[in-house]
Amino acid sequence: MPELRRARLIDVARRAGVGKTTASDALSGTGRVSPATRDAVLAAAAELGYTANTAARALRSGATGTIGVVLPEVLARSSYYMAFTFGVVTYAAAHDVDVTIVSPSVSSGRSRPIRADGLIVGDPRAGDPALPALLSSGIPIVTQEHLPDDVDGEPDGVVWSSHRAGMRRLLEEVDRVRPQHPALLVAPNVTDWSRQLVEGYREGCATRGWEPVIAPIEFEAPWHAVRASTERLLAEHPETDVIICGPDSSAIEVVAVLGRAGRSIGDDITVVSCVDHPSLPFLQPSITSIDLRPRESGVACAELLIDILEGRADHGSAQEFPITVVARESTARPLTSTHPEVHRQ
């Protein structure tokens, strides 16, 4: 037998013939609601077996008024996650809600419960031991991107982007340089983001007759790991004429490695990035990138979580967050030569 779905606030509102805000006010005893309307809402709730979320009541009453953000360990050196967190804090502060950062290394197996009414989980990763504990904690959770396939459970909300489409759009800019051997530097299948990038890249290669080359790298790769992976890629595939950089800020180190290797960006090779970075417009040449709009994404996650806690959004809500490609000098014109090692093969 299929499991019965728990009654939601919207179900109560429809049964009583009122809006969600009116139903919420009637159930919480706030707002200007007539006795007749309140009675109708309470009767509908009783008929449907509706139970209000305790975390939502706490947030509305100001008993806790705190949401948590669970982010990868890379936060301290990532301009993306710094901007994302700033977006969460900005929106929460405007709604009189505090924000606490929850370290992923201690978010499972804690000796005490997480003191937050709800959580935002940024880029949930495959194999993360904290995720099952968080999802079973009873705390409402909004994820930024979908959960990886190896995680059982369902978040209360998700803000997601079509990174597959973003990669396809990025490859349209790459087409301008007339490449033959592009390679993708990424951590395959670690997050929904990286999985979509790989899918979009493989689809683009198949359409154009390119042989896909994926240079694996850790999701949280430090500078030296980016350098080593790039050097290994160039040694194994000297014919590479485009490097598509996955990890945040990795394009900076890739450009430096190419310079040391005697490769000339815009001549025999070029670079694009799957994550924009404040420095990329100022490199020579400037680097074409996917703008993931991290600050706005943080705002969207905070808004959805607070709406769920306060009964304005339903459990299981999913919102698509738009991203865009910023075309710059690195894909402005065709490459003019081939790396000499290719001719010697």
* Distance in angstroms (rounded) separating the CA atoms of residues 251 and 38: 58
Report which secondary-structure segment, H or E, holds 134.
helix 130-135
Q: What is the DSSP letter of 150?
A: T
* Distance in angstroms (rounded) separating the CA atoms of residues 156 and 118: 10
* 327-332-336-337 Cα dihedral, nearest 10 degrees: -10
Task: Determine how β-strand 288-291 pairs with β-strand 324-326.
Answer: antiparallel
| Structural domains of the chain, ranges and CATH numbers in brackets | 9-48 (no CATH), 64-161+294-314 (3.40.50.2300), 163-291+327-344 (3.40.50.2300)
Contacts of 219 (CB under 8 A, 6+ apart): 72, 74, 123, 125, 187, 190, 191, 194, 247
User: What was the pLDDT predicted at 109?
Assistant: 52
Mean pLDDT by 10 residues, the chain (345 residues): 59 88 74 82 86 54 78 72 94 90 60 80 87 86 92 91 98 97 92 95 98 90 90 96 94 95 93 96 96 96 93 91 97 83 46
> Which runs of E-coded beta strand occur in 200-266?
213-216, 242-245
pTM for the whole thing? 0.79
Longest CA pairwise span in the chain (Å): 87
Report how far apart, in Å, the C-alpha atoms of 218 and of each of 107, 226, 228, 255, 256 are.
Answer: 21, 9, 12, 19, 19
User: What was the pLDDT predicted at 127?
Assistant: 84
Token pair for residue 56? 């939502």
DSSP helix/strand/coil, 183:
strand
User: What was the pLDDT predicted at 345?
Assistant: 42
* Distance in angstroms (rounded) separating the CA atoms of residues 117 and 60: 10
The CA angle 33-37-39, to the nearest 5 degrees, is: 115
Instruction: Give CA 80 to chain center in angstroms.
Output: 10
Other residues' Cβ atoms within 10 Å of the Cβ of residue 110:
12
